[in-house]
Structure 1
Amino acid sequence: MKDNIQPLPSEVAAVLGAPDRLAALDAAMPVFLGPDPDFDDIAALAAALFVVPIALVTVLGRKDQWFLARQGTPEIRAPSEDSFCARMLAACPGEPMAVADTHRDPRFAGLPSVTGEPRLRFYAGAPILLGGRAIGTVCVFDVEPHAGLAGDLLSRLQRLAGLAASLITLKDEARRRTLAAEALSREEKRHALALDAANVASWLWDISTGIVSGNETFYRMLGVRPAKPMSARKFFTSVHPADRKVTIDRLRSALATGKEYDGLFRAAKTGRWLLGRGRVHEWDAAGRPTVFLGINVDVTDGQLASERTRLLLRELNHRVKNTLAMLQSLARQTLRQTSDPVEFMEAFAGRLQSLSEAHGLLSDHEWGVIHLKMLLQKQIMPYAMDYENQIEIHKDEVELGPDQAVGLGLVLHELATNARKYGALSVRSGKVVITARVVNEDGQRVLNMTWHEVGGPPVDPVGRRGFGSVLIERSLDKILGSSVHVEYLPKGVTAVVRMPL
């Protein structure tokens, strides 16, 4: 019961709630984790110094006084408002204090620990000061009064309080270092994970020892196993021989000038293209570089894409030249067959469209190979009234190169336009049967294709033979060993194509 306890003196309340004192306590000890064995010896020395049964090392909060170490009591805290130490700090700021007999001192006589168990009669305490702010005390108690204290006991108690302050400071610094190390470790792990996720290799060259070390990605890119630090010589030999001299020269230049290293090289073992960046990070007292930091980024896909683009441009340049030559020939031959501008444009535009369709297919496939089925559909479908029912195709799976696709495209265009104007595709009952088979002739694959029209109007061989026939038979001239033979049979046109693949 606290009915007889005096109200908390204002000066004591001011000490407990002092913002700067509480801030110093919170900075040094944000959380009380319980008694700390490291402070036990201080409590024991204080008890022995005064020959008393109870000694404490405390930190004084606004509401509670916590015990870092205690001797002679099982408690680990007490209310701050009932604290001897709060009253000591209010009465003697920054100085030690002793109360020989609590019953005779009105400041302490009414405290619960005096009027009730353990009925304390003697107290001595010294403040634990951090930056001039009292955050706690080293104090002793007895159930008997003490008279005539030796003159140096309080000063020695103050030295123990100073020792406690030093220990709190050291522990706080250790805690901060631990937190900083943990934060640094988390940051390093985050950076490592980010580099790994981005497939970026990081490496450090200790020039003084000649050792190069890096992250796991670094060793993986170079194909170095096991993944462990290596000599600079081994690092340089991991660069492809064709790129080694340029890479070494650029690194030497970066070492000599302090400027950034920037280079592109292939790894000798993996063949991967790596973009390297780095610079000197540390120098010795004489200005010589001692540590070089760098990163590598795998740019193989970009390099291969760039190479494919260069090859495609060269191929495209070649094709354009061939196409221009073909266009000139088509224009001259078409003009020879007609002087009517309308007829010329109709015939010439159709042949241009045929070339365009073939080029479009090849472009979609990066000027590689295209399937015969695609070419047949592109060249014939525009001229059939009902493609599904009028065009019957029996074929093997055939892939065509650029020259083959362009030449055969012109053949199919001329056959299809002729069939639409005069032959099987000019009536709905007509039909074109195409057979394409691949045979092996002396170790070479050869396409044998026939075009046979049925169900169309009767064929007049004399009226049908003209520039279109000549063009059909010459469209494959650029393909060595190829041939086209057209027969204008009364029941329908038949064309036989032979073309090495």
Structure 2
Amino acid sequence: MNKKNSGLAAAMAAILTSPQRLEVLRSVAPDMAVPDADFRELAEMAADLSGASIALVTLVDAQHQWFKAAAGTCGTQALAAESFCVHTIAGPLDDVLVVGDASADPRFSSLPQVAGAPFLRFYAGVPLVIDEQPIGSICVFDVKPRHDLGPQFRTQMRRLARVAASLFELKHEACQRALKEAAISREEQRHAMALDAANVGSWLWDVRSGSVSCNPAMLRMFDMRPAGIVQARDVFTAIHHEDRKATLSKLRSAMAQDEEYDGRFRVAATGRWLLGRGRVHERDASGKPTLFLGINIDVTEEQVSTQRTRLLLRELNHRVKNTLAMLQSLARQTLRQTSDPQEFMTAFAGRLQAISEAHGLLSDHEWSDIHLSALLAKQLAPHVRDYGRQLEIHKDEILLGPDQAVGLGLVLHELATNAAKYGSLSVPNGKVVVTARGVDEDGRRVLHMTWTEVGGPRVSEPAKRGFGSILIERSLGKVMGSSAKVEYLPAGLTAIVRLPL
């Protein structure tokens, strides 16, 4: 091989393996091995222009020449090293390579398609150039030598090459655009699904037309049926009438001052609370808002919890005041019964503990109803050694309100304290029988409870009533229609309690 041929081979190898050229090729035509009918007419135009029997639009990578479109042949590829077009892309970028008779040209005479079937003779090709890199060619072949092509032919072939290159770029841009749009669509779908799953209503209000575009979660929140177009007036009408004026005022203020809208309101149809947030997304040339973008979140549970907490605080404040008054009265009455400080502290501390136990149960249940069984266990357990043996309890399932629980708790404490000091719980074999039944009286539920001490010392009625007896009778004074009576029977003390529920 002489120096000239050696240099030509090196140039063609360099252009075939050029990283820059291959990068542009793979970027513009990642599917280079797949024929494309969009280029078919360009190949046919090249054949008509030259009168040749074969025309191709090709892409050339490091090893193969791929036919994106062909006229006059069923072939789809060839080896790059054995192709005419490798010489075309290795030459000047705007040149037309014309071979009048390949059999007489030492560069091509030994090629299989020249020395053998189909015995190609004529060839003309122009590089397809993108980003200054030759990625392929548009070319024509014939089995007869041709030497009669004028300058007009070269001009038209160059034009066809530029059109083919532009078409590759346009198709690449369209493909990239479609991929981006698909990615955006997927992202929008993910966002929409995430908002719907999180029950977040999103909306876009076209201020000029009054229409509102929103997601399904928004429609569910406002109890509105799916519709093609939702009008802003329908959304505003769906807001509870007590909250509508304030909500619209906040919305107008946010639009006028270019601030974020932030408001809470109820939906008229469901009563559920929504948190709304948003701001102007677009204004016209005069500064008037045209688009308002926002979201809504269902905050009913939070709102209900806040209201419940406020009610509980008010209830607690009321109970604390009542309890302080009760404690002051207990302290005064206990002092009247004893002048011994130690005896006072013991008696007062026990009564204070009884109130505390009742308050603790009520607090655990957020100052709602508590079970009688829980109150019995809290007040009686500290005064017995064996709860199951020393207490025999027969009861219905009874619920007590706060006033009933505090008052009855004091009664039970006084009865148990007295029984542990002087009554049936002061001896090993004594016990207390408690019977508690809920009965209906004139359409109202009433607790009838009997406390009976058995197996204890013989009982006689005291000459003077102590504060404990007085406290038992007066502890239920805050519950209208209640009563508590103590009877000193010889077999054991008996107390009868009537308590409206």
TM-score bracket for the superposition, by shorter chain length: over 0.9
Deviations 1:389-438 (A, max 9, x none): 11111111111000000000000011111111111112231111111112
How far off its partner does 1:267 sit?
1.1
Whether the 8 Å CA contact 1:216–1:227 is kept in 2: the answer is: no
Deviations 1:237-260 (A, max 9, x none): 111111111111111112212211
- How many angstroms apart in 2 are the aligned matches of 1:389 and 1:173? 90
- How many angstroms apart in 2 are the aligned matches of 1:120 and 1:343? 129
Whether 1:423 and 2:423 are equivalent positions in the alignment is: yes
- Mean CA deviation greater in 299-308 or 160-169: 160-169
Whether 1:171 and 2:171 are equivalent positions in the alignment is: yes
- Mean CA deviation greater in 220-229 or 257-266: 220-229
How far off its partner does 1:78 sit?
1.5
What SS does the aligned partner of 1:286 have?
A: coil
- How many angstroms apart in 2 are the aligned matches of 1:206 and 1:140? 58
- How many angstroms apart in 1 are the aligned matches of 2:78 and 2:457? 117
- Mean CA deviation greater in 471-480 or 455-464: 455-464
How far off its partner does 1:92 sit?
2.9
Whether the 8 Å CA contact 1:261–1:278 is kept in 2: the answer is: yes
- Mean CA deviation greater in 334-343 or 410-419: 334-343
In structure 2, what is the equivalent of residue 377 of structure 1? 377
- How many angstroms apart in 2 are the aligned matches of 1:270 and 1:78? 73
- How many angstroms apart in 2 are the aligned matches of 1:91 and 1:402? 100
> Superposed, which structure 2 residues align to 1:83-232 within 5 Å?
83-232=83-232
Root-mean-square deviation over aligned CA pairs: 1.7
- Mean CA deviation greater in 295-304 or 139-148: 139-148
- How many angstroms apart in 2 are the aligned matches of 1:421 and 1:435? 22
- How many angstroms apart in 2 are the aligned matches of 1:15 and 1:466? 117
In structure 2, what is the equivalent of residue 61 of structure 1? 61
How far off its partner does 1:104 sit?
2.1
How far off its partner does 1:464 sit?
8.5
Whether the 8 Å CA contact 2:240–2:268 is kept in 1: the answer is: yes
> Superposed, which structure 2 residues align to 1:196-345 within 5 Å?
196-345=196-345
- How many angstroms apart in 1 are the aligned matches of 2:227 and 2:297? 18
What SS does the aligned partner of 1:296 have?
A: strand
Q: For residues 180 and 464 of structure 1, do their structure 2 counterparts lie closer, same or farther at Cα, with a shift above 3 Å needed?
A: farther
In structure 2, what is the equivalent of residue 494 of structure 1? 494
Q: For residues 17 and 274 of structure 1, do their structure 2 counterparts lie closer, same or farther at Cα, with a shift above 3 Å needed?
A: same
Amino acid at match of 1:489: L
What SS does the aligned partner of 1:456 have?
A: coil
Aligned pairs, how many?
Answer: 497
What SS does the aligned partner of 2:151 have?
A: coil
- How many angstroms apart in 2 are the aligned matches of 1:254 and 1:134? 58
Whether the 8 Å CA contact 2:89–2:137 is kept in 1: the answer is: no
Whether 1:406 and 2:368 are equivalent positions in the alignment is: no
Whether the 8 Å CA contact 1:87–1:107 is kept in 2: the answer is: no
- How many angstroms apart in 2 are the aligned matches of 1:15 and 1:388? 100
Amino acid at match of 1:378: K
**Structure 1 regions of 5+ residues with no counterpart?**
none
Amino acid at match of 1:267: V
- How many angstroms apart in 2 are the aligned matches of 1:232 and 1:416? 68
- Mean CA deviation greater in 468-477 or 8-17: 8-17
Whether the 8 Å CA contact 2:11–2:90 is kept in 1: the answer is: yes
Whether the 8 Å CA contact 1:98–1:124 is kept in 2: the answer is: yes
- How many angstroms apart in 2 are the aligned matches of 1:139 and 1:230? 59
Q: Could you state the TM-score of these two structures normalised by the residue count of structure 2?
A: 0.96
- How many angstroms apart in 1 are the aligned matches of 2:188 and 2:299? 25
